[in-house]
Amino acid sequence: MDNWDEIRTAYNVARVGTVSGAAEVLGVHHATVIRHIDALEERLGVKLFQRHARGYTPTEAGEDLMRVAQATDDQFAQLSGRIKGRGNDVSGELVVTSLGSVSHLLVPVLTEFQQAHPEIVVRYLTGDRLFRLEYGEAHVAVRAGSAPDQPDNVVQPFMTQDFTLYASDAYIERYGLPKGEEDLKDHWFVGADDIASRAPFFRWMHETIPLGQITFRSGDIHAQRRAIQEGAGLGFMSRLHAREIGGLTEVVPPREEWSSRLWLVTHMDLHRTSKVQAFLSFLKTHAAGWAEV
């Protein structure tokens, strides 16, 4: 096979499902897409797509080709990420990813790091999706939970966050402060909208607190925190963040099973690059001053 452009075109048609959609992704005219598909089918002597009114659907042969194209495309992305990270200067893009729940810790550090290195462009990606370091999607990941075990990654323990239930001054003024866990049955709570949340303290909440008492629910961690501050209910927050916010009182002592371990994860091919090492050192220096390290 000597024409990657045709294979890439077929891959995008299969992925998007239409000629016009693939043309838009590739930045070419739709006639070019059709020409590539026709030429590839003629060269292989087999139909790769079933044409219909809604678009193009891969045949069995098309599915086989797409699997090869997907693997090749992933390898190109991985190679690109490695090449971009090999420079000796602290410059270019620095892509850091984490759960949104630790953005209050990372954003000030990222801001100061960028100011110290003006040639760096910071991209901070948050969310539940696990960004794939092996494909160059990020340079540094801050991950929570058990130690990550993906192959070819360098994993370092970072810090442990202690979580417990908090009541705001506004909540206490309205409903009073529970004297202990035995009083929780008489109070309202702020929780996750997803009852299958992996956070250990939310699992405890959904197993212990009747659903009718969790009267404010959100999938947005920032909305949850603001609801706790506004007095919508008792809710979980890290001790470090609660101290930063102020106006919050611990309802019960933190439990070990509610704590969240954080890990620094980098890919072995990018771990020793100048900008990754510079950022890791910068982050660890700042973290040494945090109360929960």
Q: Tens digit of pLDDT for each residue in 248-265?
A: 999 999 999 999 899 999
Establish if 273 belongs to a structural domain.
yes
Establish if 245 belongs to a structural domain.
yes
Claim to verify: residue 254 and residue 268 sit in the same structural domain: no
Distance between CA atoms of residues 61 and 14, nearest Å = 12
Distance between CA atoms of residues 293 and 288, nearest Å = 6
Residue 115, token pair as written in the block = 């100011």
Claim to verify: residue 69 and residue 112 sit in the same structural domain: no
Q: What is the pLDDT of residue 223?
A: 95
| List of residues 6+ apart from 292 with CB closer than 8 A | 159, 160, 161, 162, 238, 239, 240
Q: Which residues of the chain have pLDDT under 50?
A: 1, 292-293
**N-term to C-term CA, the chain:** 54
What are the start-end ranges of the E strands in the chain? Answer: 49-52, 55-58, 92-98, 120-126, 140-144, 153-161, 163-168, 189-192, 214-218, 235-238, 248-250, 260-267
Distance between CA atoms of residues 185 and 210, nearest Å = 8
Claim to verify: residue 218 and residue 96 sit in the same structural domain: no
Establish if 32 belongs to a structural domain.
yes
Of the residues 81, 99, 132, the one at which a domain ends: 81
Q: What is the pLDDT of residue 197?
A: 84
Claim to verify: residue 252 and residue 172 sit in the same structural domain: yes
Distance between CA atoms of residues 54 and 13, nearest Å = 12
| CATH at residue 39 | 1.10.10.10
| CATH at residue 187 | 3.40.190.10
Claim to verify: residue 184 and residue 246 sit in the same structural domain: yes
Distance between CA atoms of residues 145 and 9, nearest Å = 40
Distance between CA atoms of residues 83 and 65, nearest Å = 27
Distance between CA atoms of residues 97 and 138, nearest Å = 7
Claim to verify: residue 144 and residue 269 sit in the same structural domain: yes
The range of the structural domain enclosing residue 184 comes to: 163-258
Q: What is the pLDDT of residue 276?
A: 94
pTM above 0.75, yes or no: no
Establish if 86 belongs to a structural domain.
no
Q: What is the pLDDT of residue 88?
A: 56
Q: Tens digit of pLDDT for each residue in 176-205?
A: 999 888 899 999 999 999 888 888 999 999
